[in-house]
Amino acid sequence: MRNYIFIIGPRKLQNESMAVLLEHQTGAKCISSTDYFFQINQVENGKNILILLDCPQLEMEKILLHYEQKGPFQALFNVSPGKGIEEKAISMGVRGIFYENDSIDRFVKGIRAIFNGEFWLSREIMAKCILMKKERNNGPKKAISLLTQREREILSIIVGGATNDEIADRLYISPHTVKTHIYNIFKKINVPNRLQAALWVSKNLANN
């Protein structure tokens, strides 16, 4: 099944250049448009689609809702750090956020991760969603309350896509200790793997 990338934003030349580059780097079919309400009708249902939106700050909610049923993945690019839009975007189903100064290598790596069902979000943003967001139902409240501070920290880093070794290096603990913490986290929130942990966070802690 071929992947499709729709690059949507007002900068026509940038979008077209990006489409050529991403098509070469990822093997996905890339289509660009300057119309934020572009109708995606060239692709059959069931295809893997990533919709890349050039940071639509003014009507973000309306634009994201427009594409909600058009494809499984949405991501924002050219995001300015410190604007505070990430948490709202994540709550609306955005799977990846790329910043103005991200390198092309990081951009390509993130796109591949999203197509693999992962999230591409900074660890700090995911930590904020996990640790600061108020949950609506008692199940997630109970589960998150059972986690220790260290487990919450590791969960936020896991959702950011880090490996066990990267977590160990960052927290100055052994890989074995990381593995033990992850086992306990998965048991407490009742998930079998990293992907399900990320989906659990997105569903229970970000959609409020």
The residue assigned the tokens 């030349």 is: 13
Q: For the domain covering 125-206, report its CATH number.
A: 1.10.10.10
Q: In the chain, which residues fall in CATH 3.40.50.2300? A: 3-121
pLDDT attached to residue 8: 92
pLDDT attached to residue 163: 85
Q: Given a cut of 50, is residue 134 above it in pLDDT? A: no
Tell me whether residue 24 is exposed, middle or buried, using C-beta atoms within 10 angstroms of its C-beta: 0 to 12, 13 to 18, 19 or more. exposed
Q: What is the pLDDT of residues 1-45, one digit of tens each?
A: 688 999 999 999 989 999 999 999 999 999 999 998 888 765 555
Model confidence at 118, in pLDDT bands (50, 70, 90)?
A: confident
Q: For the domain covering 3-121, report its CATH number.
A: 3.40.50.2300
Model confidence at 208, in pLDDT bands (50, 70, 90)?
A: very low
C-beta of residue 137 within 8 angstroms of C-beta of residue 200: no
pLDDT attached to residue 67: 78
Per the prediction, the chain carries an average pLDDT of 81
Q: In the chain, which residues fall in CATH 1.10.10.10? A: 125-206
pLDDT attached to residue 17: 93
Report which of residues 124 and 69 the model is more confident about: 124
pLDDT attached to residue 137: 46
